[in-house]
Amino acid sequence: MKKLSILLILTLALAACARPTPQRTHIRLPMGFVANVQFAPVYVAIEKGYFAAEGIEIEFDYSWETNGVQLVGAGELPFAIASGDQVILARSQGLPVVMFVNWWKRFPVAVVALEESGIRSPQDLAGRKVGIPETFGASYIGWRALASRFGLSDTQLEVIGYGALAKLAEKQVEASVVYANNEPIQLAQAGYKYTLIPVADYATLVSNGLITNERTLQEKPDLVRAFARAFLKGLEDTLADPDAAFEICKRYVEGLEANEAAQRAVLQASLAYWQGQPLGASDPAAWQATAQAMLEAGLLPAPVDATRAFTNDYLP
């Protein structure tokens, strides 16, 4: 009986050794141009093992947003982080990209002006010189939606690249289109008092989320659901404990300690734009409004069926 027990143990041990190790799905994820605290939910999901638990291994790809959209649209990569306007633009060009997690529930573009300018409301922008990074992308769409709502056709719009702080300080522009969770924090850090006009207070537009393509949705729905589950757990944890999330970011974002106060403020400001139940769900009206704003701005050659640009069917 003793020999039989030993033989049984050895047989079970050998069977366990022979069992194949479950393979992980390696995913290269285009995120944005540089590592940043604004990607905290992804870092948290990785650090806490949420992706690993779903059998997913993440490789960061810090490249231009448009590159990620094109690669996903061509079927060369399954997922990327991208903005709603890029999804709509891509679909107008025949790329079958779809947002399956709407991460940023509020559109983060805003107009900022120094307090001394006297600008307090959107109406006060009429006839003023307003700086804008470029005449495309989320900043431009946000501006066009705001200008359309308040009849700001006589505003002097000037392309200034990404030097809003210097342009405002030097009085080269009276206001500037910015991201509400970034440049205003830098102004405050520099001691300036300012007025902030969030576009989201006046227009419901789509911002950043996780995108895939129609083929991946059809052929690998379980992978899409797994990716959404892992990411949203990271987002939930970040919202619940931003201090812990910031500490995790230090392992992924170089040089955070050198500018910790400002970067903590950026993360804190971002939380307000991520909140909203259910997490990850797209608002159909926001997609329609974004597509319409892009069409009116001349960014689309023809109307786009916005209902095909997103799905809520793969959320937990």
Phi, psi of 287 (to 5 degrees): -65, -40
Cα distance from N-terminal residue to C-terminal residue, the chain: 51
Question: Would you say 214 and 96 are in contact if contact means Cβ atoms under 8 Å apart?
Answer: yes
Q: Is the dihedral of CA 278, 38, 132, 95 positive or negative?
A: negative
Question: Would you say 59 and 68 are in contact if contact means Cβ atoms under 8 Å apart?
Answer: no
| Total residue length of the chain | 316
Q: Which amino acid is at 58?
A: I
Angstrom distance (rounded) from CA 229 to CA 238? 14
Report helix, strand or coil for 212. Answer: strand
Check pLDDT > 60 for residue 163.
yes
Would you state the structure tokens that stand for residue 151, as one six-digit string? 């009849």
pLDDT at 22: 56
When pLDDT is averaged across residues 266-274 and rounded to a whole number, the result is: 96
Angstrom distance (rounded) from CA 134 to CA 148? 18
**Interval 276-308: pLDDT, tens:** 999 999 999 999 999 999 999 999 999 999 999
Angstrom distance (rounded) from CA 178 to CA 184? 8
Q: Is the dihedral of CA 124, 109, 311, 296 positive or negative?
A: positive
Check pLDDT > 50 for residue 3.
no
Check pLDDT > 80 for residue 262.
yes
**Interval 13-35: pLDDT, tens:** 444 444 444 588 999 999 988 99
What is the value of pTM for the model shown? 0.89
**Interval 165-206: pLDDT, tens:** 899 999 999 999 999 999 999 999 999 999 999 999 999 999
**Interval 195-211: pLDDT, tens:** 999 999 999 999 999 99
